Amino acid sequence: MKKTLTAALTTALVVGAASTTFAAANPFSDVPADHWAYDAVAQLADDGVIEGYGDGTYRGQNEITRYEMAQMVAKAMAKEDQVNAQQKAMIDRLAAEFSEELNNLGVRVSNLESRIDNVKWTGKLQYEYKRVTNEPTTETDTNRLRFRLEPTATVNDHWKVKARLDADWNPEKDEGKDGKVTLKRAYVAGHYGITDINAGRIPYLSEQGVVFDDNLTGASVTVGEGQKFSGTVLAGRHKKEENGVNVYRNMQGVKLNVDPTKEFHAAAEYYRVAHMPATDSDYSHIWGLGAQYKFADTAALSAGYWKNTSDDNGDSNKAWNVELAYRGAEPENMHSFGLFVAYRRLGSNVALEPAFDAIDGDHKGWEVGGDYTFAKNVVGTLKYFNGRQLSNDAKAHTYYGSLEYFF
């Protein structure tokens, strides 16, 4: 411990410092002699990460300033693509410790912030009210306050880890699920060129949300996302609670998309679904076609038809959807709004987990609604459904309202 880091700086960093911009009036305090950073930099020098310091003399009796230490860290950061995992972890720790000085130096490496804080959190607080009436006798009111968190953690240039956590509360009864937070999603998301891979507890949305909008335990692979032709294959298990009992479905599917222009989209999809345990004869085979045309980025007309070829019941074996939508509320843009009108027919053996708020499976009829951004990240939604229940032809109507606070 006879030579100083100050001497080492003179040897290795003068060229890098000459091209670096920093605030000249910014005084830098000394790094204490017993600070762990001296050992870290010395180790990186011994490993050859910092050039010009091959004699191993990187600890000394004299202290150096945080600015001088930041210069050394910047030199190490420039070689991150040449180091092993242990060395990279050491560089990351140094970068976090001297991040302010690095900023003053103008060393804003593009991934520095993501390494220091590589987990991003989004979420919302949402209040929902829903009144469902199936004449002549059934009427159900639902109040729900939902708090949702959605973390996304960057693993490397190709992979991320994503999750969704939900906690529900009934304001009317002032009760929830004993404070239980439910893990709705947890999966890895990989991206390689035009290929996207999801595996774990994954989300999946079918064409127009008619057949399925929920989570699966399984995997999906999409090739060509954003291209004129793309496709998705998936396989997984779906879990749903019905009357207090967990019901499981085994599900495989394929979806092909054609997007020749930014205005026009078409898709064909197929799903093989059965309650578990199942044999081959227990599976349903659901086929569907859908299309959408956008008018000048302000309106869109969507239509589609789906059929379960394993079901002979005309009430439950088919679905169709026609919707005209105008604009849409954007949480980041105050006073933005959207309106829509749709006619939907959702056979119960086709529309397994549909995406619509005011109409459920086994119903047909009109759904209308709109949403509005009252303030930045504050969105209100109203929807109304009027139609009939397919299985018994009873009149049905639903009122739905929601207020969401995004963050």
Which domains, from first to last, does the chain contain? 5-115 (no CATH), 119-406 (2.40.160.10)
Helix (H/G/I), strand (E/B), else coil: 303: strand
Residue 80 has what pLDDT?
78
Phi, psi dihedrals of residue 85, rounded to the nearest 5°: -65, -40
- Report d(CA 357, CA 399) in Å as an integer: 9
Q: In Å, how far from its chain's centre is CA 7? A: 49
- The CA angle 332-188-212, to the nearest 5 degrees, is 70
Mean pLDDT on 45-71: 63
Mean pLDDT on 88-94: 86
Mean pLDDT on 382-389: 97
Where does the pLDDT of residue 152 fall: very low under 50, low under 70, confident under 90, or very high at 90 and above?
Answer: very high
Q: Are 355 and 332 in contact (CB under 8 A)?
A: no
Tell whether the model's pLDDT for residue 58 goes beyond 60. Answer: no
Residue 23 has what pLDDT?
35
What six digits make up the tokens of 130? 């829903």
Q: Are 342 and 322 in contact (CB under 8 A)?
A: yes
Q: 153 Cβ partners below 8 Å, 6+ apart?
A: 118, 119, 120, 160, 161, 162
Tell whether the model's pLDDT for residue 26 goes beyond 80. Answer: no
Closest to 12 measured CA to CA, from 48, 36, 38, 43: 48
Q: Are 213 and 353 in contact (CB under 8 A)?
A: yes
The predicted-structure confidence for 217-243, as pLDDT tens digits, reads as follows 999 999 998 899 999 999 999 988 777
Tell whether the model's pLDDT for residue 180 goes beyond 90. Answer: no
Least confident of 86-90, 181-185, 304-308: 86-90
Mean pLDDT on 164-173: 89
Where does the pLDDT of residue 336 fall: very low under 50, low under 70, confident under 90, or very high at 90 and above?
Answer: very high
Least confident of 74-83, 138-147, 218-227, 369-378: 74-83
Q: Are 397 and 384 in contact (CB under 8 A)?
A: yes
Tell whether the model's pLDDT for residue 153 goes beyond 70. Answer: yes
Residue 278 has what pLDDT?
63
Mean pLDDT on 151-172: 93
Helix (H/G/I), strand (E/B), else coil: 33: coil
Residue 226 has what pLDDT?
85
Residue 401 has what pLDDT?
98
The predicted-structure confidence for 257-290, as pLDDT tens digits, reads as follows 999 999 999 999 999 999 877 666 788 999 999 9
